[in-house]
Amino acid sequence: MLELTKTAKKVISSTTAPKQAVILAAGLGSRLAKTSDDIKPLKLVGGMSLIQRNIKLLANAGIEEIIIVTGYHADILEKTLREECRDIPVKLTFVFNAEYRKSNGISVLCAKDAICGNFILTMADHIFDPEMIRRASATIPPKHGALLCVDYKLSEVFDMDDATKVVVKNGKVAAIGKQINGYNAVDTGLFICTPTLFNALQEAADRSAAHDCSLSEGIATLMKTGRMAVQDIGSLKWQDVDDDMMLQQAERMLKAI
């Protein structure tokens, strides 16, 4: 059963839009970064690194602090971003995930102590239409829950095999995963969350013998409480950037928006 800590109860009762964001940037990214010196979040797309673009979009949307969870090549990533983002009006906080070879849910948990209210959660390797970020920053998540931005335009998803599929029923997540049937939407990698997400992830990790969990497993845990809602991105576009083909698609997308 999902339990709330006394501290979390005070925080997640907030009815304000998020002022913090978490960007996951800890993984190896080996499908795109092909050498040990290659750092996926720093890959250039449209003349700007993947992660810097998201930092800039979040800052432009009114986010005041961005917590960046690092792991692989953490020192280089932090040094580069502090230099490249020095003129972006946002506070950058770096949190190191020593277990970065585990699933991405562990990276989310590493940000727990830095979060003090509702927050946006996203990945370093996703490209978003700026309007998606603006809408997310103005959205209040469900009380003690979270909200996932989903794409119903299935025919436009560039790599459906790699996408995380979602079954949406009555505006809520009914199932989520890469290998599910009957899906009617796709996970865009953009979330608006209350700190209850951390409790859901911890519960999922505690069920694992290796103390590991993916973000999708945490979402599935929260889903069972009926507090995992969705937001339709409508005609807006996004792109996950996991390999060279997706990188090229992201370049095309940026030229079109």
Distances (CA, A) of 5 to 8, 74, 156, 196, 199: 5, 30, 41, 9, 8
Residue 7 confidence (pLDDT): 40
The domains of the chain, with CATH numbers, are 16-256 (3.90.550.10)
Rounded Cα distance between 38 and 252, Å, is 23
Rounded Cα distance between 242 and 196, Å, is 29
Spans in the chain with pLDDT lower than 70: 1-14, 29-37
Per-residue model confidence as pLDDT tens digits over 117-144: 999 999 999 999 999 999 999 999 999 9
Asked if 166 and 188 count as a contact pair (C-beta separation under 8 A), the reply is no
Asked if 247 and 34 count as a contact pair (C-beta separation under 8 A), the reply is no
Rounded Cα distance between 109 and 97, Å, is 9
For 169, phi then psi, to 5°, come to: -135, 125
pTM of this structure:
0.92
Residue 212 confidence (pLDDT): 96
Residue 28 confidence (pLDDT): 83
Pairing of strands 185-193, 146-151: antiparallel
Those residues with Cβ within 8 angstroms of residue 159's Cβ, 6 or more apart along the chain or in another chain:
240, 242, 245, 246
Asked if 188 and 238 count as a contact pair (C-beta separation under 8 A), the reply is yes
